């Protein structure tokens, strides 16, 4: 590899950070049940400890996304304890995720619920979450709504949209000048007829009406089959409305599989659109990269390390795209040449340069191997195994 290419990889890795999800370390499952793992984290202390392992070995995961209720059972009253815990672990609290879907009262929705008392309760929980984010110095509040309906005719779609348009600006007004609301979309599940924020266009419309610090969050698992996600990314970038990602991969629905395990070229194409935008505009895109995965079969910490290293590889490959050559080929409609610019970058084995980058930073060249050698998994499996907990997470 030419030294200029290696430099491009090193430069790209220096700025690449990715956030871990607290719920990714807990026992999770499908609607059919959970497969329990002895090492799974039950408490917030254990989640921070596991996240610390991933960050210690990869060096690029300094923040942990937190789910209010799962991680803050007492709401804002837990904030000081969690701030102290995070500081002791060298991990900062990351995005704050309100829980607007689990309580029985949300059976027919939260912000879109026909009952004004439920809408008020949901708004208060979301406002409490914004307050927690402010208290902990977290920039992003991620709003995912399970709201929707299962049968035609059972919900007033336009009315529910108005209820969202009432609540979101109230929430936005609570957010500090340095905070953002990231609005996530999802086409179906748990609702199977209509979902109130089903796609990026609806999320964009709500973000615009919420206020200037609202953005769209793209969860890569939340699209219909064959949807062109990188085009959505390109459009949101062009409008300055791309706030961040929840990364995961999928084959069928919202499968929460490991990033790039099914279609690594798609992740590469997403990163390419971002870097191409940055090259063209001369501005750095302000995007939060976050993992939203919950592995019920793979070891959770191993799966996170695998995800982070894979994300770095795909980001580094995207950094190898020769933008000037690409732009010239596009201008002349040289189709094979243009496509080859992407293929050449994607085909490059970037792993040796990444291993050198790690060594230069004092990190293990193979974080997964280092984790296996560390004995951490065996230790916590022995300490944590055999317990049960009422604490909830997915499924
Ligand atoms: C959803 C969505 C949200 C996550 C919940 C638990 O499918 O991806 O981001 O918070 O799951
Ligand atoms: Mn998500
Ligand atoms: Mn999801």
Mean pLDDT of 293-302: 95
The string of pLDDT tens digits covering residues 243-270 is 999 999 999 999 999 999 999 999 999 9
- Burial grade of 387 (CB within 10 A; 0-12, 13-18, 19 or more): exposed
Q: How far is the CA of 246 from the centre of ligand 2 (A)?
A: 5
How far is Cα 190 from Cα 100, in angstroms, rounded to an integer? 12
Q: How far is the CA of 266 from the centre of ligand 1 (A)?
A: 21
pTM > 0.95: yes or no: yes
**pLDDT score for 2:** 85
**pLDDT score for 393:** 65
296 pLDDT higher than 80: yes
362 pLDDT higher than 70: yes
What percentage of the chain has pLDDT greater than the value 90? 94
**pLDDT score for 3:** 86
List, in sequence order, every residue forming a beta bridge with 143; answer none if it has no partner: 183
394 pLDDT higher than 80: no
Pocket test for ligand 1, best of 184, 185, 196, 293 (most atoms within 8 A of CB): 184
Q: How far is the CA of 61 from the centre of ligand 3 (A)?
A: 20
Q: How far is the CA of 184 from the centre of ligand 2 (A)?
A: 7
Q: How far is the CA of 328 from the centre of ligand 2 (A)?
A: 37
Which amino acid residue places its CA nearest to atom 2 of ligand 1?
144
392 pLDDT higher than 70: no
Closest ligand by atom to 22 CA: 1
- Does ligand 1 lie within 6 Å of residue 246's CB atom? yes
- Burial grade of 169 (CB within 10 A; 0-12, 13-18, 19 or more): middle
Mean pLDDT of 107-115: 98
Which amino acid residue places its CA nearest to atom 3 of ligand 1?
144
Q: Quick one: pLDDT band at residue 390, thresholds 50, 70, 90?
A: low
The string of pLDDT tens digits covering residues 20-67 is 999 999 998 888 888 899 999 999 999 999 999 999 999 999 999 999
Pocket test for ligand 1, best of 21, 144, 191 (most atoms within 8 A of CB): 144
Q: Quick one: pLDDT band at residue 1, thresholds 50, 70, 90?
A: confident
Mean pLDDT of 286-304: 96
Query: Is-contact 290 242, C-beta < 8 A?
Result: no
Pocket test for ligand 1, best of 25, 146, 186, 296 (most atoms within 8 A of CB): 186
Query: Is-contact 354 10, C-beta < 8 A?
Result: no
Q: How far is the CA of 200 from the centre of ligand 3 (A)?
A: 14
Mean pLDDT of 303-326: 98
Mean pLDDT score of the chain: 96
Three-class SS state of 183: strand
- Does ligand 1 lie within 6 Å of residue 254's CB atom? yes
How far is Cα 285 from Cα 63, in angstroms, rounded to an integer? 19
The string of pLDDT tens digits covering residues 182-236 is 999 999 999 999 999 999 999 999 999 999 999 999 999 999 999 999 999 999 9
Counting atoms of ligand 1 from 1, which one is nearest the CA of 21?
10
* Residue 379 host element (H or E): helix 376-384
72 pLDDT higher than 90: yes
What percentage of the chain has pLDDT greater than the value 70? 98
389 pLDDT higher than 70: no
Closest ligand by atom to 99 CA: 1
Q: How far is the CA of 72 from the centre of ligand 3 (A)?
A: 21
Q: How far is the CA of 257 from the centre of ligand 1 (A)?
A: 13
Which amino acid residue places its CA nearest to atom 5 of ligand 1?
144
Close Cβ partners of 144 (under 8 Å, ≥ 6 residues apart): 97, 100, 101, 184, 186, 217, 219
Query: Is-contact 57 367, C-beta < 8 A?
Result: yes
Query: Is-contact 28 75, C-beta < 8 A?
Result: no
- Does ligand 1 lie within 6 Å of residue 273's CB atom? no
């Amino acid at each position: 590899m030419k030294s200029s290419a290696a430099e491009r990889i090193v430069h790209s890795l220096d700025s690449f950070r990715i956030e871990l999800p607290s719920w990714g370390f807990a026992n999770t499952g499908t609607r059919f049940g959970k497969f329990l793992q002895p090492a799974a984290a039950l408490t917030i202390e254990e989640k921070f400890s596991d996240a610390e392992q991933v960050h210690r070995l990869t060096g690029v995961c300094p923040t942990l996304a937190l789910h209010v209720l799962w991680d803050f059972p007492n709401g804002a009253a837990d904030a000081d304890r969690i701030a102290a815990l995070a500081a002791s672990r060298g991990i900062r609290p990351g995005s704050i995720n309100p829980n607007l879907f689990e309580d029985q009262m949300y059976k027919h929705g939260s912000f879109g619920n026909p009952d004004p008392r439920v809408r008020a309760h949901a708004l208060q929980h979301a406002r409490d979450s914004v307050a927690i984010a402010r208290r902990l110095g977290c920039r992003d509040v991620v709003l995912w709504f399970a709201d929707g309906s299962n049968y035609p005719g059972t919900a007033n779609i336009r009315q529910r949209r108005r209820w969202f348009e009432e609540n979101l600006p109230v929430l936005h007004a609570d957010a500090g000048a340095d905070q953002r609301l990231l609005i996530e979309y999802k086409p179906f599940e748990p609702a199977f007829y209509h979902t109130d924020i089903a796609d990026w266009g609806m999320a964009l419309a709500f973000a615009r009406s919420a206020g200037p610090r609202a953005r769209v969050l793209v969860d890569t698992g939340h699209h219909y089959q064959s949807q062109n996600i990188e085009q959505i990314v390109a459009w949101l970038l062009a409008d300055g409305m791309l706030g961040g990602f929840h990364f995961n991969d999928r084959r069928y629905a919202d499968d929460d599989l490991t990033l790039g395990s099914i279609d690594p070229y798609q992740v590469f194409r997403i990163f390419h659109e971002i870097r191409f935008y940055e090259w063209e505009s001369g501005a750095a895109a302000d995007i939060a990269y976050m993992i939203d995965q919950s592995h019920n079969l793979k070891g959770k910490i191993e799966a996170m390390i695998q995800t982070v290293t894979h994300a770095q590889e795909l980001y580094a490959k995207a950094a190898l795209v020769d933008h000037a050559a690409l732009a010239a080929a596009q201008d002349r409609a040289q189709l094979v040449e243009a496509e080859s610019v992407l293929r050449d970058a994607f085909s490059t084995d970037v792993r040796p340069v990444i291993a050198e980058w790690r060594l230069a930073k004092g990190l293990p060249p193979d974080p997964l191997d280092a984790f296996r050698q560390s004995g951490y998994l065996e230790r916590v499996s022995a300490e944590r195994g055999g317990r049960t907990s009422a604490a909830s997470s997915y499924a």
